[in-house]
Amino acid sequence: MAIESLNAVDNSSMMSSLNKTNQSLTSGSQINSAADNAAGSAIVTSLTSKINTQVIGIQNATTGGNLLQTADGGASQITEQLQRLSELSIQSLNGTYNSSQRAALNAEFQQGLKSINDFAESTSFNGMNLLNADTASVDIALGSDSSASLTLPNLTTDALGLTGADISNPNNALAIQSQLSDA
């Protein structure tokens, strides 16, 4: 009988050791619980936390990049409108146009100003307006102790100094040229 009970103890000890080895092989990790190696487990936990922080920082930076691409797309549309407004103001300077032709140019000019405001008001990312001063800056968390701040422009006609501008006569068209260049 004593031999049988010794075999039972040996079998349970061997089974426990076999289960630990099997768990290590299955998981691919030498440390599967704090009982396997308490110091090693603490180091693994610390390193895993640092890696996770960096992964989130990279995701945040990517999202910030996406926000900037969205703002850049809206700003490009506004730039195209400003170029067209400049063309119209130069056309209006031409002495061969009469007042009704200048009125037609001014009508398109006014529509361009409205389009600039529409782009500034509608360019948004995750519900944040990007080009109308509703959101002046956005902080991007890049890790546990680092961040970046993105400053966003106000590209409305008010901010660009174009509110009330018109090109209905050559004097107005000439005066607006410098404001369009500045914008």
pLDDT tens digits, 26-45: 766 666 666 666 677 677 77
What's the whole-number mean pLDDT along residues 82-98?
A: 95
pLDDT at residue 156 tops 70: yes
Look at 143 and 183; give whichever has higher pLDDT: 183
Beta bridge partners of 124: 129
> What's the confidence (pLDDT) of residue 1?
47
> What's the confidence (pLDDT) of residue 18?
65
Per residue, the 3-state secondary structure of the chain, as one string, reads CHHHHHHHHHHHHHHHHHHHHHHHHHHCCCCCCCCCCHHHHHHHHHHHHHHHHHHHHHHHHHHHHHHHHHHHHHHHHHHHHHHHHHHHHHHHHCCCCCHHHHHHHHHHHHHHHHHHHHHHHHCEECCEECCECCCCEEEEECCCCCEEEEECCECCCCCCCCCCCCCCCHHHHHHHHHHHHHC
What's the whole-number mean pLDDT along residues 41-57?
A: 79
CA atoms within 13 A on the CB side of 82: 23
Single pTM value for the model: 0.74
Give percent of the chain above pLDDT 90.
60
